[in-house]
Chain A
Amino acid sequence: MSENNEKKVHGLVAEYTSVDTLLDACRRVRDAGYKKTDAFAPFPVHGIDKALGIKPTILPWIVLACGLAGTTTGLAMQIWMNSIDYKYIISGKPYLSLPAFIPVAYELTILFASFGAFFGMWALNGLPRFSNPIFTDPRFDRATDDRFFLYIDAKDDKYDEGSIRSLFGETTTDYIQTVVDDDSSPKVPKGIFVAWAAVASFSVIPLLIVLKMRVTNSPMPRFHVFFDMDFSPAKDAQQTSTLFADGRAMRRDVPGTVARGEIFTDMDFMTGIDMDLLTEMNAAKAEQLVSTFNNPHFLQDDEEINVEKPEELEIDEPAPPTSESVMDTTPWLKKNPMPIDAKLLKQGKAQFEIYCAVCHGLNGGGNGLVNRRAQKILAATWIPPSKLNQPGLMQDVYPDGKMFSTISNGIRKMPGYSAQIKTKDRWAIVAYVRALQRSQNANIDQVPDEKREEILIEQEEVKQKLKEQAEAEAKAAEEAAQKN
């Protein structure tokens, strides 16, 4: 192959038949002072770094940095998402609960570290490259099979073909060859460009479809990729089901059993109604009410009750939107039957924030996350949740028992929560809502003296901030108007 001499020489390579001869050659080359060298073997050879005088790689530092970046990303992402940007209680844990964040941070550490190791290795080795001149020699193919090669690059400061040939000659090799450029044309075949263009244009199609759908209207019904996720087969209370002979979706308790913590003999406590008064006023209704809670038919024979049909609690107003105008004769309990103390209020607060606050808002102002979202997407069928601090819901016009009943059985679009919230907790919520109402309609005289100062300062600050905000908005609106 000496006719290749006019081509660009990249270096010189020698072939060896065993690890020992390769390592011996490596040591000689290292001792002769060559730096830009490389060895090729079909399998990892321990000790080759030392034999070739290769400096320790900086890859571990890259991996460490990437790993730490992964930990930081994982933690920052979760803290931002769950504790700052979109506060949401999950499993009753605090917004910022480190143990829950660790698995994701740990996984990202590993992911980033592996990427660091993999792509860092590529970068340090100058990969990917399409071709390496050393592949020109067909004999080099055996580097993946049963031969070992040692290569000295022409860029080495001490590179001199003659002296290297004599150096290689001293080692146990029968094959020394200069590494030259490939014979084939460096031009990339046209077909490859065509194929690339084709793949690229096809890959744009899904994106275009998505974009088109984002900006156009369609009379077709929405396409449901995951039908049973859009329409959950789970049933709510009072819905029917074909799964059971009696058509009920919700199952009654097993005959003769009572759910934990739900055994109460006090009907007032269970219904929020003064049963003695109700019996005087309407004995039949009271009877019916008692029977729904403690119906021997239910407990003995489920089928029979299906025939008897109605068990709806019609004691609540049949939902005209302005229920105040209709005379409500039900003798609601005026007072919360639970002893009101800080513990109960705390319990009520916790339950309120889990079940009620998503719609009614954390302060009961009627602007919870669900409501805000509904307003944002202009949901047509949305009925805004009540402001819990409005005059019509105060204790004098809307007794505690009535509120308890509303929580239990629902009103208008609001579903009943008796299935989810325990009886005691529903009373606790009532107590907490009363506290919320008070806090939202309070004046400064009700604040204890020692705290008053603090509140006044805070009030001033909030006012100032609101003012600044309003000014900024007005300014922005003005500017926008001027632009138009």
Chain B
Amino acid sequence: MNRLRMSRLRTWFLAPAWAITLVLFLAPLGIVLVYSALTRGAYGGFSEPWTLESYTRLMDSLYLVILLRSFWIAAASTVGCLLLGFPLALFIARSGRRKNLYLSLVILPFWTSFLVRTYAWMFLLRDTGLINATLQKLGLIHDPLPLLYNDGAVIIGLVYSYLPFMVLPLYATLERLDKSLLEAAADLGARPWQAMWRVVVPLCAPGIRAGSVLVFIPCLGAYLTPDLLGGGKSVMVGNLIQNQFTSARDWPFGSALSLVLMGIVMALLFGLLRRDSEGGLL
């Protein structure tokens, strides 16, 4: 009896999401799939004949190098977010009545435009920016340090941009954490960091996974940050894709690139989830 009602209700619960996904995600993706199998038109766009040439073009060390670079930058940014975000989420979860305020303070900077946030870092990191000016005034350095337009600047910018994506899911799980578990661990003689590592971290693994995925993916596809903070000196796969759709006007190749990128990320995620007995994020 219950089973029956449950499944009917479930259908209705899933229906809106199904409709949105079908019309606004799967259908457009199908169109991209079709594009990827067409040929670039003489002046952009696409035309027949049907071909897999866009995919065979990808078998190239040039694109592999770009892909690996993107992975490294996205991974470094994710680790950065985790190191910064985990203690912060823990702090918020434990701050009692003030936690809503503290949570809001995390989100607040992210209501300004993404571009403004990136510009803020350009402001700080440039030769005549605050950091260099302060160091020079203190007499620690003579010539300004080249802080802007390198991978480090890109990673800082990405960490800064995506930190709430890490903090929010971490907070959601940490907030539910039973404090008595920590007390029990302490009673059993665990040092605070031991309790943290052995008890808290495993218990909020779903939050860590969710946060990491939410940060890693957009970092992997980022293209504005590498352009602005990296000075366009190195390409990430996002820049490569964006170039195909804009200056190169090669939609089929851009589509193929996008689909391959999505495929690789999916494969990675499934690899990650297979080890996860709970069945993963979703």
Q: Do A and B bind each other?
A: no
Q: Which residues of B contact A (CB under 8 A)?
A: none
